[in-house]
Amino acid sequence: MIRLEGISRTFDVGGRPVRALQDVTETIAAGEHVAVMGPSGSGKSTLLNILGCLDRPSAGSYTLDGREVAQQGDGELTLVRRNLIGFVFQFFHLVPRLTAQENVELPMVFAGVPPRERRDRAAAALASVGLEDRATHRPDQLSGGERQRVALARATVMGPRVLLADEPTGNLDSASGRQVLDVLERLNASGLTLVVVTHDFKVARRSGRVVMLLDGRIAKRVAASHVQEIADVLAGEAR
C-alpha cells in the first residue's frame, strides 16, 4: 500500500537547513496497523504529513497504492487527499461554526457528492462512531472524545484506503482515548491501513508493529508486543 524509499525532508529555517527526515525507507502493507513513536522533534509529524500528501519530500520516492505521488502536481495531490487518505489530528480541527453533521459532510461537499446522499452518508458515519444523537451539536457543545470521533467520522466518510492519525489520543483522558482507539481498531479490522503517531505505549501496544524515529531516521522496528524495547531506548534518550 505504502512504499517510502530514501525519503528526506529538509526545512529551511532562517537560511539554515533543518533535516526533519533523513533517508527514510519503509513499506507498509495494505491493512497494516503501524504505530510511529519517537521523541519530540524526531520527525513523526513530518513523516505523517508526507504520507498524507500534505507535504512533499525534498528527496526520495513515495508510492501510494501503486502510484508515485512524491512529485505530483497540486491537482493530483488534492484528489489523492480527497479519495485515498483520511487524516485525524491531535487538536481535532473541526470547523467551529459547523455542526457535527456538517463537519462530516465537508469532504463530500468538496468532492461534489449530491446533498441527499451526503446527508445519509454523514449520518451513517456519525452512527458508526456512536454519535448519531450529536449530529446537530457544534464542536463547542461536544467533549474532547466526541470531537475526535466526529473527526474520525469525517476522515473516513469518503471511504479512504489509508487513515493517518497524529497523536489522536494526545489530548484526551484515558476513557475517551480508549473509545477513539476502539473506533480506530474497528476501522483497521475492516481493512483500512492505519498509521498512528503516538507517545502512549498503551496505544502503541494495540498496533501491529512499531516504528521508532530518532533525529529524522528510523532507529528501530519492533512488533507491538516488544514495545518495551522502544520504551527503554526512549528512556535512555531522555537521560
Ligand X SMILES: Nc1ncnc2c1ncn2[C@@H]1O[C@H](COP(=O)(O)OP(=O)(O)O)[C@@H](O)[C@H]1O
Please give the residue ranges that form the binding site for ligand X (CB under 6 A): 11, 13, 18, 20, 38, 40-46
Among residues 1, 26, 65, 82, the one that binds other proteins under rule CB under 8 A: 82
Residue 111 touching other proteins (CB under 8 A): yes
How near is the Cβ of 213 to ligand X at its closest, in Å?
A: 7
Give the whole-angstrom CA distance, residue 237 versus residue 38.
Answer: 10
- The residue within the footprint of other proteins, chosen from 2, 24, 34, 87 (CB under 8 A), is 87
Q: Which stretch binds other proteins (CB under 8 A): 91-99, 120-128, 140-148, 211-219?
A: 91-99
User: Residue 213 is placed in which grid cell?
Assistant: 524515529
Considering the complex, state which of residue 47 and residue 104 has its C-beta at the smaller distance from ligand X: 47
Contacts of residue 97, defined as CB under 8 A and 6 or more positions apart, other chains included, come to 138
CA distance linking residue 140 with residue 144, whole number of Å: 9
Taking the complex as a whole, the smallest distance from the CB of residue 218 to other proteins amounts, in Å, to 21
Q: Which of 129, 158, 194, 203 binds other proteins (CB under 8 A)?
A: 158
Query: Cβ closer to Mg ion: 49 or 179?
Result: 49
Tell me if residue 62 falls in helix, strand or coil: strand
Q: Which phi-psi region, left, alpha or beta, contains residue 192 (left: φ > 0; alpha: ψ -120 to 50)? A: beta
Task: Reduce the DSSP state of residue 1 to 3 states and report it.
Answer: coil
**Share of the chain residues as helix, strand and coil, in percent rounded to the nearest 5:** 40, 25, 30
Binding interface with other proteins (CB under 8 A): 45, 49, 52, 54-55, 74-75, 78-79, 81-83, 87, 89, 91, 93, 95, 97-98, 106-107, 109-112, 115, 154, 158
